[in-house]
Amino acid sequence: HSLPAAAAGQLTRLVDALAAEPDPHTTVTDLAAALDVHIADSLSGLEVAELRDADRIADLGAGAGFPGLVLAIALPAARVDLIESARRKVAVIDRLARAAQVPNARSVVARAEEWARTPPALGAGREAYDAVTARAVAPLAVLVEYAAPLLRMSGVLVAWKGARSPAEEGRGRGAADEGGLALADVLRVEPFEGARNRHLHVYRKVAPTPERLPRRPGMAAKRPLG
């Protein structure tokens, strides 16, 4: 992935800190497993050129910090906001970011819907990002509603998924039509030996997102678009 010279040390500190973390919010903390499941899998997102070139990235439902922290290490010129509503998870993100010395990563305690309603003048939100990432967060239709208002025109949503589901992809296309996005690609990736059914779903913003989106918190999951 042509990582910067400092990345190897940062990634090592990151997985060491995860292994020592008392409240990791992930079942994969063993060093060898974490290198595959968290680091290599996160780096697979760099297969998407628009993500590699992004200046501002939002990682939705960041959990313990993946892929957001790894992408921030791989892309030191980018600013990466890790958006997570659970304060305990945000505390983990902050500890891991300090341990790995990742100055271009910032945690945000908010729901995606709330953050998308925050004007850029207040530090973020609507139409502020070149790329939005989401790994094991929600169905595609839900992710599309979360991401669309956050993206600038021509920005991309990159969603990490497993085996392809025609039904889920169909609902995702319907939601994309409503949100101003269009499916650009579905990339089959093999981030590490033994990985199966890994796909990156890439949506591009092609039209303005209606002001009514996102709906109030919880509605995207309860009644998905499409």
Chain centroid to CA 200: 11
67: helix, coil or strand? coil
Render pLDDT for 95-113 as a digit per residue (tens, 0 to 9).
Answer: 999 999 999 999 999 999 9
Reply yes or no on whether the pLDDT at 125 is more than 90: no
pLDDT band at 31 (very low <50, low <70, confident <90, very high): confident
pLDDT value at residue 193: 83
Token code pair at residue 48: 């998407």
pLDDT, average across residues 5-29: 92
Question: Structure pTM?
Answer: 0.95
Helix (H) or strand (E) holding 56: strand 56-60
Helix (H) or strand (E) holding 101: none
Render pLDDT for 166-202 as a digit per residue (tens, 0 to 9).
Answer: 999 999 999 999 999 999 999 999 998 878 899 999 9
Reply yes or no on whether the pLDDT at 18 is more than 80: yes
Radius of gyration of the chain (CA): 16
Reply yes or no on whether the pLDDT at 123 is more than 80: no
DSSP string, 30-48: SHHHHIIIIIIHHHGGGGS
Reply yes or no on whether the pLDDT at 120 is more than 90: no
Token code pair at residue 125: 């939100």
C-alpha 63/C-alpha 176 separation (Å) is 24
